[in-house]
Chain A
Amino acid sequence: MLEAVDVRRVLPGPPPVTLVDAVSFAIDRGEFVAVTGPSGSGKSSLLYLLGLLDRPTSGMVRVDGIDTSGLDGAALDRLRLERLGFVFQFHFLLPEFTALENVLIPIRRLGRLDDRAARHRGAGLLADLNVAEAADKYPGQLSGGMRQRVAIARALANDPAIVLADEPTGNLDTANGRAVFDVFERLTAVDGRTVVVVTHDIDLAARTHRRLHLVDGRIVRDQPVRASAA
């Protein structure tokens, strides 16, 4: 489903900076993976590579079985639109649009649903994330937790197979952080999506299936999480 083969990302210097170093792994469909590691270890850099926002210096990223190394920019844009959903630490909603309109942006961009069906889907997603009442509010009128849920709803708008989240709870209190992980659990267990989440929170990381631990751009540990760890 999501695979990295000897992925290396080096910023051309001088001096050259190695962000991600010879990383290899394969993540299955329905897997819930935490990426952990100290600050500056390259977690975000790895996520950008998996999310096709950045290209590896060498090695290959395979998304949904597709080798992305030979694809041009437009094809990568297309893959992001159809198969990937991003959630960032800061909510990153467009301030000029209401919550519902934000969720509708990827749907409209893809253009597969007509206006009614799109609105129906958008409203459904907001309801799934318990923020139905936020639909017609602007991001500025929402609390941090609500914004992050709207952002997750937007990431799910085009029914992506893979959801990538970079410290999605970093800005939230414990209760809201748990709620976000509840959603991720459901996405993997119920919907069968793949979720990769970067987190510093050990308790939350313990709720995932598998943990990739990075140090200095290298995977130093790749191990399953025992259910009892929580």
Chain B
Amino acid sequence: MAVTLLLDIALGHLRRRRRQTLVSVLGVALGVGFFVGVTALMRGFQQYFIAQVIDVSPHIVIKDDYRAARPQPATLRWPAGAVAVSGVKPRDEPRGIRNARAKLAELEAMGLAVAPTLQGQVILRYGTRDVPVSLYGIEPERERQVTNVERDLVAGTLDDLRSTANALIVGVGVAERLGARRGDTITAVAPSGVSMSMKITGLLRSGITAIDNGQGYALLKTVQVLQGRSNVVNQIRIRLADIAAAEPLARQIEARFLYRTESWEETNRNILGLFVVQNAIMYSIVGAILLVAAFGIYNIVSTVVYEKTRDIAILRSIGFGRGEIQAVFVIEGVVVGILGGLAGAVVGYALIELLGQVRFENVGGIMSGRDGFILAREVWPYLVGALFALIAAAVAALVPARRAARLNPVDIIRGAA
């Protein structure tokens, strides 16, 4: 059966209502366009943010504590017995990952990039100023494979940690608060009271405030001495080629070593959760626009059905079935949907270009060094937006189209005669 005939009839109807058709198409176009633009904006920012976070931090961190109390001797002895041990008080044992070297070797054998770290709080003192920092004891060669700290150094290199005695790299914010510059010698004080003179050999600017204002890096051995914890490692940090594998691998490692193992997703869960809320809000708005567009389509198709009842009766008397009458009006909605989708792609593209032109003052924080929006230019939002428009259009048209199909030609002809 000639679909082109139904299409011709549908197009004939739309041509008669050119203005209303245009308004409906624009409604859909706006919905699709905003969807495309908003998606580029949101995903651009979120991808940038995640990239920043993932770039400077490891993908998986094994820590020296446990999520749950370890199996107790009683339950180990009688695994099937009716013995339950709860409320176990954590044992007062020296903190740190035991047999860290063996574990490092095991992880490396799995083909992972790993780095041992001793992380702890210290106070940096310069003159009368005290700044608390989270000090990471690292091995430069391995750290390089695990984080991009080195790339974010604005002064000095990681190798300085080896070539200079008691070398220290701090975030630019830390240096600023201390009032110290590269080359200055400052005092680091451990919680135990032990202090050590350290020389600032490098400055770090990651764009992430928490890092720039609160972190420092020194050689693992040096930090172990400062903290009085020789040979202790309390974090093993891992970097992966595929960040999507982080969470399952973290679970696997935790099951193996029992130590709490966090993927980057878990560490940043609050922020990722915020993204989910942010996305939900934005897409609700876009959804509302599409809903309005769908009402526009419903409206035009309803009007045409109302106006064209006589034509419906003619077509039925010629031998068109209910299904074909319904198809004519669904096609009208779909045509508006397709035109709207195409126009929406143009609107979306233009919106992205426009957003790309927007410049604003450096706002600092994660956005430091950027003076415009970060836009993700991807193809799929166009396709998804157009698909949504098409579905919305078809559904919106279906309601009046079904009404048209149910009309009784005899009633119409009687009414017209």
Q: Residues on A close to B: CB < 8 A?
A: 44, 48, 51, 53-54, 73-74, 77-82, 84, 86, 88-90, 92-97, 105-106, 108-111, 154, 166
| A54 interface neighbour in B319, B410, B417, Cβ under 8 Å | B410
List chain B residues, Cβ under 8 A from A48. 410, 413
Task: State the CA gap A82–B16 with chains docked (Å).
Answer: 30
State the Cβ distance, A28 to closest chain B Cβ, in Å.
24
- Over the window 301-320 of chain B, the binary record of Cβ atoms lying under 8 Å from chain A Cβ atoms (1 yes, 0 no) is 00000000011011111111
Task: State the CA gap A14–B224 with chains docked (Å).
Answer: 98
- Whether A53 contacts B12 by the Cβ 8 Å rule is no
Q: Does B91 contact A (CB under 8 A)?
A: no
List chain A residues, Cβ under 8 A from B359. none
> Contacts A92-B310, A111-B1, A111-B2 hold; do A51 and B317 have CB atoms under 8 A apart?
yes
- Whether B414 contacts A44 by the Cβ 8 Å rule is yes
- Whether B319 contacts A96 by the Cβ 8 Å rule is no
State the Cβ distance, B313 to closest chain A Cβ, in Å.
8
> Contacts A86-B317, A94-B314 hold; do A109 and B1 have CB atoms under 8 A apart?
yes
Q: Does B416 contact A (CB under 8 A)?
A: yes
Q: Does B5 contact A (CB under 8 A)?
A: yes
Q: Residues on B close to A: CB < 8 A?
A: 1-2, 4-5, 8-9, 12-13, 15-16, 310-311, 313-322, 409-410, 413-414, 416-417
| A106 interface neighbour in B319, B414, B417, Cβ under 8 Å | B319
List chain A residues, Cβ under 8 A from B1. 109, 111
Q: What would be 26 A-B contacts, judged by CB atoms less than 8 Å apart?
A: A48-B410, A53-B316, A53-B317, A73-B322, A77-B316, A77-B319, A77-B320, A80-B317, A80-B319, A81-B319, A84-B319, A88-B417, A89-B417, A90-B417, A92-B313, A96-B9, A96-B16, A105-B9, A105-B315, A105-B318, A106-B318, A106-B319, A108-B4, A108-B5, A109-B318, A109-B319
State the Cβ distance, B133 to closest chain A Cβ, in Å.
77
State the Cβ distance, A53 to closest chain B Cβ, in Å.
5
- Whether A78 contacts B16 by the Cβ 8 Å rule is no
Count of A-B contacts judged by CB separation below 8 Å: 73
- Whether B9 contacts A94 by the Cβ 8 Å rule is yes
List chain B residues, Cβ under 8 A from A94. 9, 12, 311, 314
- Whether B410 contacts A86 by the Cβ 8 Å rule is no
Task: State the CA gap A86–B315 with chains docked (Å).
Answer: 11
State the Cβ distance, A211 to closest chain B Cβ, in Å.
22
List chain B residues, Cβ under 8 A from A86. 317-318
9 tightest Cβ-Cβ pairs between the two chains A and B: A81-B319, A96-B12, A80-B319, A77-B321, A86-B317, A108-B5, A92-B314, A54-B410, A106-B318
| A109 interface neighbour in B15, B311, B320, B417, Cβ under 8 Å | B320
Task: State the CA gap A86–B410 with chains docked (Å).
Answer: 13
Task: State the CA gap A110–B311 with chains docked (Å).
Answer: 18
- Whether B318 contacts A80 by the Cβ 8 Å rule is yes
- Whether A53 contacts B409 by the Cβ 8 Å rule is yes
- A93-B314, A105-B5 given; name 4 further pairs at CB < 8 Å: A92-B310, A105-B318, A109-B2, A111-B2
> For residue A77, which residue of chain B has the nearest CB?
B321
> Contacts A77-B320, A92-B310 hold; do A108 and B414 have CB atoms under 8 A apart?
no
Task: State the CA gap A108–B318 with chains docked (Å).
Answer: 11
State the Cβ distance, A137 to closest chain B Cβ, in Å.
15
| A88 interface neighbour in B311, B315, B316, B413, Cβ under 8 Å | B413
State the Cβ distance, A139 to closest chain B Cβ, in Å.
11
State the Cβ distance, B358 to closest chain A Cβ, in Å.
46
Task: State the CA gap A142–B1 with chains docked (Å).
Answer: 30
List chain A residues, Cβ under 8 A from B320. 77, 81, 109
Task: State the CA gap A80–B318 with chains docked (Å).
Answer: 6
List chain A residues, Cβ under 8 A from B316. 53, 77
> Contacts A94-B311, A96-B16, A111-B1 hold; do A81 and B318 have CB atoms under 8 A apart?
yes
State the Cβ distance, A227 to closest chain B Cβ, in Å.
31
List chain A residues, Cβ under 8 A from B413. 44, 48, 53, 88
State the Cβ distance, B14 to closest chain A Cβ, in Å.
10
State the Cβ distance, A208 to closest chain B Cβ, in Å.
21
State the Cβ distance, B45 to closest chain A Cβ, in Å.
49
State the Cβ distance, A188 to closest chain B Cβ, in Å.
21
Task: State the CA gap A145–B88 with chains docked (Å).
Answer: 101
State the Cβ distance, B307 to closest chain A Cβ, in Å.
10
Task: State the CA gap A176–B276 with chains docked (Å).
Answer: 73
> For residue A81, which residue of chain B has the nearest CB?
B319
> For residue A151, which residue of chain B has the nearest CB?
B314
> Contacts A53-B316, A111-B2 hold; do A73 and B321 have CB atoms under 8 A apart?
yes
